Amino acid sequence: MTHAHPELGLPPVLTDDTVRIVALGGLGEIGRNMTVLEHRGRLLIVDCGVLFPEDSQPGIDLILPDFDYIRDRLNDVEAIILTHGHEDHIGAVPYLLREKADIPLVGSQLTLAFIEAKLKEHRIKPYSLTVKEGMTETFGPFDVEFVAVNHSIPDALAVAVTTSAGTVLMTGDFKMDQLPLDGRTTDLNAFGRLGDKGVDLFMVDSTNAEVPGFVTSERDIVPVLDRVIGAASGRVIVASFASHVHRVQQIIDVATKNNRKVAFIGRSMVRNMGVAKDLGYLTIPDDVLISPDAISEMPDDRAVLICTGSQGEPMAALARIANRDHAITVGEGDTVILASSLIPGNENAVNRIINELTRFGAHVVHKGNALVHVSGHAAAGELLYCYNIVKPKNVMPIHGEWRHLRANAALAIKTGVPAQNVILAEDGVVVDLRNGQARIVGAVPCGFVYVDGSSVGEVTETLLKDRRTLGEEGFISVVTAVDLVLQKVIAGPEIHARGFGEDDSIFNEVMPKVQQTLEKALADGVTDTHQLAQLVRRVVGKWVGEKHRRRPMIVPVVIEG
């Protein structure tokens, strides 16, 4: 495995007057957020999330951060701090705790409740510490203050990590909605106070750094939802993240107002909303919530279904509904609302679902045609505000693709942060903070770890390339038997193709070439069947490329007769 910056080399030995920061995910991508801080021989992890696969990663369920950097140092980990309960920040925790189950988990009440429910399914009982805004806890050489931030999920936190080498303030995912649904605004007073004391490194959410101004308030969605659901003549199906408690609360409120019952569809949605309701983060009036089994007994114009699958995930409820692979169906008069923004890379999957639902007659409402979702991430105006309040010495944009990171860096420079103090890094790049200066000092190997069913880390880039080839170019098998003594082909070649779009008879033209190549090699003294098979692969591959402009997967088998 290699990293993106071989020219950097490995980092130097860490000195006691330095704090080291290494992102194992979340830089150059939306998801897989995980940052490791190291000081005086001890480690502190902030977030441990997953990334969802793209079309170019067929068969993959999830993508994890690469734990190799810390795998042999898990005994040095003081804690895993979780900023909030979204999957891209907590989804990989079960996979890390499989390797060492007693690493303490630290987070707010709802965040820990979500991850504990998930860990229960993995049969892991964690040691956890519940914190809330305003609290300070010490983990080895790290003093951590927790700061309230507003996001699209309740109980989100920023973290200020103070060491003898300086203070690092990490925003987590945040925005500055001034009229949040739960009344919990981002604590700019705390940001200002920390800034006055001195923030040596400010690590800032970059997702909306390209978007000018301020993000629309969550409250502005309610009239749109009310209008869409009020006008619907049939069933309403709303797809949302299974952790988006605020959005689900809005839908329940609007459904109740329109005299509709609500059912949760999808295991993670049922689990998370049950947790949120039990803890008081979700309020559901009596007799409004019904079980999925009761939907068939309800008149279509009296039901609202809240399900997973807003990102086009193939096994989520909405995709199965669209593919007619679910007990719930949609048709004429039904309305489907996609109450989320698109994560980059999911566009094709979501568009396919929209098309299928529309084909069956459903009216599909999404962010592109109605205000049914607002982002949970600060836009450029809000980020400028924060830079001016915190006045950091150094800035490191996090949580975003490269265009987001660069846009965020430009904002920091505009507010007066010296360009040389703005750190643009990728996953695996090592940043050291020492004497008030943050600098890139090296890089460590840091790749993608793929989850494919029950297998974790066994799928390689080579295997993914093979899967893409199979899906895009097809498959050809060539079976031949040879007599090494007589130096002759005694059976075959027998050629079969799948996904090639042509009849097998087209291979009649290349069969003599395969036979001639094998018999010439045998006459030249080649007796290794693997070597002979590679010759077959080259002959067939060259012929297919020239004649059909295709590059299928070719599997040659040469048997000694």
Write down the CATH number for the domain with range 18-213+375-452. 3.60.15.10
Residue 9 vs residues 3, 6, 20: alpha-carbon distances, Å: 10, 6, 16
Question: Which residues have a Cβ under 8 Å from the Cβ of 278 and sit 6 or more positions away?
Answer: none
User: Which architecture does CATH list for 218-365?
Assistant: 3-Layer(aba) Sandwich (3.40)
Residue 288 vs residues 117, 251, 257, 271, 319: alpha-carbon distances, Å: 24, 12, 11, 18, 25
pLDDT in tens, the chain (561 residues): 334 466 788 899 999 999 999 999 999 888 899 999 999 999 999 999 988 765 555 456 678 898 999 999 999 999 999 999 999 999 999 999 999 999 999 999 999 999 998 898 888 999 999 999 999 999 999 999 999 999 989 999 999 999 999 999 999 999 999 988 889 999 999 999 999 999 999 999 999 999 999 998 888 888 989 998 988 888 898 888 888 899 999 999 999 999 999 999 888 899 999 999 999 999 998 889 988 888 888 888 898 999 887 776 666 778 888 878 788 888 888 888 888 776 666 677 778 888 888 888 888 888 777 777 788 899 999 999 999 999 999 999 999 999 999 999 999 999 999 999 999 999 999 999 999 999 999 999 888 877 665 556 555 555 555 545 544 556 677 788 877 777 777 777 777 776 655 566 677 777 788 777 877 777 777 777 777 777 777 887 777 777 766 677 777 777 876
Name the DSSP letter for residue 444.
-
CB count within 10 Å of CB 65 equals 31
**Residue 170 and residue 165: Cα distance in Å, rounded?**
16
**Residue 176 and residue 371: Cα distance in Å, rounded?**
18
Question: Which residues have a Cβ under 8 Å from the Cβ of 93 and sit 6 or more positions away?
Answer: 48, 80, 82, 105, 115, 118, 119
Is residue 265 within 8 Å of 308, Cβ to Cβ? yes
**One-letter identity of residue 129:** L
What is the predicted pLDDT for the residue at 534?
Answer: 79
Please name which of 365, 360, 371, 357 lies closest in space to residue 317, comparing C-alpha atoms.
357
Is residue 130 within 8 Å of 108, Cβ to Cβ? yes
**Residue 168 and residue 144: Cα distance in Å, rounded?**
10
Question: Which residues have a Cβ under 8 Å from the Cβ of 259 and sit 6 or more positions away?
Answer: 302
Give the pairing of strands 553-560 and 394-398. Answer: unpaired
**Residue 163 and residue 140: Cα distance in Å, rounded?**
10
What is the predicted pLDDT for the residue at 471?
Answer: 47
Write out the DSSP string of 459-484.
Answer: --HHHHHHHHHHHHH-EEEEEEEEET
SS3 state at 17: coil
Task: Tell me the sheet residues that pair with 476.
Answer: 497, 554
Every domain of the chain and the residues it spans: 18-213+375-452, 218-365, 461-560
Residue 105 vs residues 46, 84, 200, 415, 525: alpha-carbon distances, Å: 10, 12, 26, 36, 64
SS3 assignment for 119-157:
HHHCCCCCCEEECCCCCEEEECCEEEEEEECECCCCCCE
Is residue 482 within 8 Å of 532, Cβ to Cβ? yes
N-to-C CA span, the chain: 40
38, HSE (Cβ side, Cα atoms, 13 Å): 20
SS3 state at 28: coil
Phi, psi of 466, deg, nearest 5: -60, -40
**Residue 209 and residue 422: Cα distance in Å, rounded?**
15
**Residue 16 and residue 28: Cα distance in Å, rounded?**
30
Write down the CATH number for the domain with range 461-560. 3.10.20.580
Give the pairing of strands 363-365 and 335-338. Answer: parallel
Would you call 15 exposed, middle or buried from its count of C-beta atoms within 10 A (0-12, 13-18, 19+)?
exposed
CB count within 10 Å of CB 43 equals 24
